Amino acid sequence: MGVNATNPANHNMVGNDEKYRPEFHFTPDSMWMNDPNGMVYYKGEYHLFYQYYPKSNVWGPMHWGHAVSKDLIQWEHLPIALYPDSLGYIFSGSAVIDWENTSGFGTKKNPPMVAIFTYHNAEKERLGTNDFQTQGIAYSLDNGRTWKKYAANPVIPNTSFRDFRDPKVIWHPASKKWIMVLAVKDRAMFYASSDLKSWKFESEYGLKDEKRLWECPDLFPIKVSGTSETKWVLVVSMQSGAPNGGTGTSYFVGDFDGHQFTNSQPDNKQFWLDAGTDNYAMVSWSDIPAQDGRKLMLGWMSNWQYAQQVPTQRWRSAMTLPREVTLVKTAPAEWKLKSMVVKEFSAYRKNKISISKDKMTGNKCLLFNQSPAICEAIITFDRSKCKEPFQILITSTSSDTLIIGYDSSGNNYFIDRRKAGISAFNPLFAAKHSTPCLSKGNLLNLHLMVDKTSVELFTDEGLTVMTDIFFPKSEMNKIEILSNNLSELLKENMVHTLNPKK
Ligand code: FRU
């Protein structure tokens, strides 16, 4: 079974749209998708709900689409979980397993899966009021297959905030309470509850002179790698001002005492989970079993700048690959998240291709020659020997070229999609994106996940990630390295072809 093989679209090609559909990234069967929602693990299944509009390939009245996976890679589509109702569209939110049945919706033996989401009342918005977003809950007693909305919704009414949304709920063992973090205009607000039904405002966190709109927050504790210290990460998606333009996912590192978040870094430092353009609304999975212990995250692989115009018709947009994040201390008062694609991928590696140095000719080395380009490439090179940019070219027979590289003159990584295919749908799409290199030593390691129409670059041991999408005119079928003095500077290169059939 292929990753998207349960999509009827794969068997029933409509136009030439399917050439863009990735193999390993989650895509909706058809129509419009944005943010991941309600990600929760229960009884051997990873649940992925998502913002979904089943009637069009552009944004509209939001539902929660639903899929499940046993390994985070092969997804099975399930019927729509939540439909709009008289209180509004179903905007983004989260889901938890209420193990102790604090809500009373289930029993301790059969704990309810509770979804916490934003109601967006479009009619009220049209009438010009400011209170059209409220928070609602729903529950399922059959592993997320069927849902019942709480009769006394909304659980948090709105007093006056036009932007009041995207609740992420976690259990806070120290205070024995549920904590909700909400994005409210230009800041995060924290609420507490003992039963998921009645909520009390606790505090807020924001930045001075903030002009950007905050969305899709997340809050979680995480051990600092190699220590016994625990820090709290507050994730916030920003509607503008991401490192390479448009929308992106950022985070703050600090402490949370059950009431208030405080940033532990000078000047309320903010970092980005991804320096590419295509990772928005990234949030973490709830209820990963303690014996697994990982912090797993996934984002929407697009950017509001052009998401509704990308050249697919039958379906629109994919999710990023699921990633594991860890926290490291990088300076006396600085902590950063590292990201890496989940280890489950190794089960899908098929052939390992390594190119021996004596086979390299001049400044080019062919890594991969197969259509479509779907692979995992791991490349280590010595940047002290780079006299010109080190480049990895992904090309098609229609001469589309995507370049991923390192430029020693500016000490930065880049992804250049200016000539990678169709881009006329939006003037902001064709661009070269770059981000500073954070590694200190001479050896740089690039870990690339290539899936037909996207590339995810993990480097600086996971401290730097870049996710970019592209739309080649014909399938990409070649990956080459281009650099001066290749046989001397290339230390290691390995490509795993990936096959959706294990
Ligand atoms: C983020 C977002 C959320 C909202 C949802 C609506 O992409 O704007 O803030 O809940 O999309 O679809």
End-to-end CA distance of the chain: 9
Copy the structure tokens of residue 361: 């000719």
Alpha carbon distance 52, 37 (integer Å): 10
Helix, strand, or coil (residue 176): coil
How crowded is residue 433: how many other Cβ atoms within 10 Å of its Cβ? 20
Summarised one tens digit per residue, pLDDT across range 259-301 is: 999 999 999 999 999 999 999 999 999 999 999 999 999 999 9
Q: Which of 118, 120, 215 to mutate to test the pocket of ligand 1 (most atoms within 8 A of CB)?
A: 215
Q: Which long-range contacts (CB under 8 A, 24 or more apart) does 426-432 make?
A: 426/305, 426/306, 426/309, 428/245, 428/246, 428/305, 428/306, 429/305, 429/306, 431/244, 431/245, 431/277
Alpha carbon distance 177, 441 (integer Å): 45
Q: Which of 31, 32, 35, 135 to mutate to test the pocket of ligand 1 (most atoms within 8 A of CB)?
A: 35
Q: Which residues touch 126 (CB under 8 Å, ≥6 apart)?
A: none
Residue 1: predicted pLDDT: 29
Residue with tokens 């059939």: 501
Q: Which of 52, 216, 300 to mutate to test the pocket of ligand 1 (most atoms within 8 A of CB)?
A: 216
Residue 226: predicted pLDDT: 96
**Ligand 1 atom, smallest distance to 35 CA:** 7
The CATH code of domain 350-498 reads 2.60.120.560
What stretches in the chain show pLDDT beneath 50? 1-15
3 C-alpha to ligand 1 centroid (Å): 26
347 C-alpha to ligand 1 centroid (Å): 34
248 C-alpha to ligand 1 centroid (Å): 13
**Ligand 1 atom, smallest distance to 166 CA:** 10
Residue 14: predicted pLDDT: 39
Q: Which long-range contacts (CB under 8 A, 24 or more apart) does 410-416 make?
A: 410/434, 411/436, 411/437, 412/436, 412/437, 413/275, 413/437, 413/457, 413/459, 413/464, 413/466, 414/389, 415/276, 415/455, 415/457, 415/466, 415/468
Phi-psi region at 293: left, alpha or beta (left = phi > 0; alpha = psi -120 to 50)? left
249 C-alpha to ligand 1 centroid (Å): 13
Closest Cα to atom 8 of ligand 1: 215
Active site residues: 35
**Ligand 1 atom, smallest distance to 280 CA:** 7
Residue 358: predicted pLDDT: 67
336 C-alpha to ligand 1 centroid (Å): 26
Summarised one tens digit per residue, pLDDT across range 118-145 is: 999 999 999 999 999 999 999 999 999 9
Closest Cα to atom 6 of ligand 1: 91
35 C-alpha to ligand 1 centroid (Å): 7
Nearest CA to 71 out of 473, 417, 345, 431 is that of: 345
380 C-alpha to ligand 1 centroid (Å): 38
**Ligand 1 atom, smallest distance to 163 CA:** 9
Copy the structure tokens of residue 62: 């939001």
92 C-alpha to ligand 1 centroid (Å): 6
Cα–Cα–Cα angle for 291, 219, 36, nearest 5°? Answer: 85
Contact between residue 237 and residue 215 where contact means Cβ atoms under 8 Å apart: yes
367 C-alpha to ligand 1 centroid (Å): 39
**Ligand 1 atom, smallest distance to 183 CA:** 9
The whole model's pTM is what? Answer: 0.96
**Ligand 1 atom, smallest distance to 62 CA:** 12
Closest Cα to atom 9 of ligand 1: 215
**Ligand 1 atom, smallest distance to 91 CA:** 10
Residue 502: predicted pLDDT: 62
How crowded is residue 326: how many other Cβ atoms within 10 Å of its Cβ? 17
Contact between residue 93 and residue 166 where contact means Cβ atoms under 8 Å apart: yes
Q: Which of 34, 116, 135 to mutate to test the pocket of ligand 1 (most atoms within 8 A of CB)?
A: 34
Q: What topology is assigned to 4-341 in CATH?
A: Tachylectin-2; Chain A (2.115.10)
Q: Which of 32, 37, 51 to mutate to test the pocket of ligand 1 (most atoms within 8 A of CB)?
A: 51
Domain ranges (residues) in the chain? 4-341, 350-498
Residue 12: predicted pLDDT: 35
Closest Cα to atom 7 of ligand 1: 35
Alpha carbon distance 413, 423 (integer Å): 22
**Ligand 1 atom, smallest distance to 118 CA:** 10
215 C-alpha to ligand 1 centroid (Å): 7
Residue 248: predicted pLDDT: 98
List all residues whose CB is within 6 A of at least one atom of ligand 1.
34-35, 51, 62, 91-92, 118, 165-166, 215-216, 280-281
